[in-house]
Amino acid sequence: MIDIKKYSDQKGHPEPRRVIRYTLFWCKSGHAEILIDEHFFILEANQTVTITSGQFHQLKSVEGELTALEFTLDFFSKSDSDVELIFHNGLFCHFGMNEKITIHRPDFFTETLKQIEDEINEKPYQYIISTHSLVELLLIEINRSKIANGDEIWKPDALFLKFLEHVRHNFSQNYPVSYFADILGTTEAKLNEVSKLHTNKTALNVIYSLIISESKRLLLYEKLTVKEIAYQLGFNDPFYFSNFFKKHTSLSPKDYQKAVKN
């Protein structure tokens, strides 16, 4: 549900890994090198980066002190306001738009993480409730820092975020927009409305964007053929999948693999 790990002057993970949890890295001192999907980040002191559930990442090295906080969506999201907070201002973005964020109150951030660590280790009465509240404080502090850094405020809609989550968990089924509208108790028109509001894309094109993000991860980090990836993502015809991928990225799946790995 929730876990916290600390790293100090050491090598990181031997291979990229996929964690079905939301991950927050906090660099207290020094710097750390982190690979997230196909992008490298050098995290400096007083900076954080958030990683959405399902992304591949690899902690390459740490020179200084680094903390990793991991939690599941089920642990954190007890209400629509929780769902909206976890993705507020682009945090834990489903589209892989990770960014380094400089925190304006680093001592507060470090102390809050220490409180979370103590709660997890000691497990006092109602510690799940207290850790949830402390994670809320961390996310609010990140949002305040982003605003202080000059970022615009982006307030997501819980319906849109639930739509993204359902799509991400059902790639292989190749469900139409109407299916997601039904299980979310809404209409296709409403899903299109919130999709255009948040991404300037139709709901169908949002699904396509998520499929492309997932395709890239599978091509880079899973030992699967293009044919196997196509079937895993709900395509009955691997040739159609290759054309779909090239249409959205300008590269064939194999050319994309070569370009990134080189």
Q: CATH number of the domain that 64 lies in?
A: 2.60.120.280
Q: Contact, 42 vs 31, CB < 8 A? A: yes
| Same domain (yes/no): 236, 144 | no
What's residue 262's pLDDT? 74
Domain that holds residue 171: 159-261
What's residue 178's pLDDT? 98
Q: Does 34 fall in a domain? A: yes
| Same domain (yes/no): 73, 166 | no
Q: For residue 20, give the amino acid letter.
A: I
Q: What sign for the dihedral angle of Cα 178, 181, 183, 185?
A: negative
| Same domain (yes/no): 17, 138 | yes
Q: Does 169 fall in a domain? A: yes
Whether residue 96 has pLDDT greater than 90: no
What's residue 126's pLDDT? 97
Q: Does 154 fall in a domain? A: no
Report the alpha-carbon distance of residue 162 to residue 80 in Å, rounded: 9
- Place 84 in a pLDDT band, splitting at 50, 70 and 90: very high
- Place 156 in a pLDDT band, splitting at 50, 70 and 90: confident
Single residue among 124, 148, 172 that ends a domain in this structure:
148
| Same domain (yes/no): 74, 172 | no
pTM: 0.90
Q: Does 20 fall in a domain? A: yes
Report the alpha-carbon distance of residue 219 to residue 237 in Å, rounded: 17
| Same domain (yes/no): 170, 46 | no
Report the alpha-carbon distance of residue 42 to residue 49 in Å, rounded: 10
Q: How much is the average pLDDT of 208-234? A: 96
| Same domain (yes/no): 170, 114 | no
Q: Does 172 fall in a domain? A: yes
| Same domain (yes/no): 84, 184 | no
Q: Contact, 40 vs 47, CB < 8 A? A: no
The residues that bridge with 24 in the sheet, in sequence order, are 50, 69
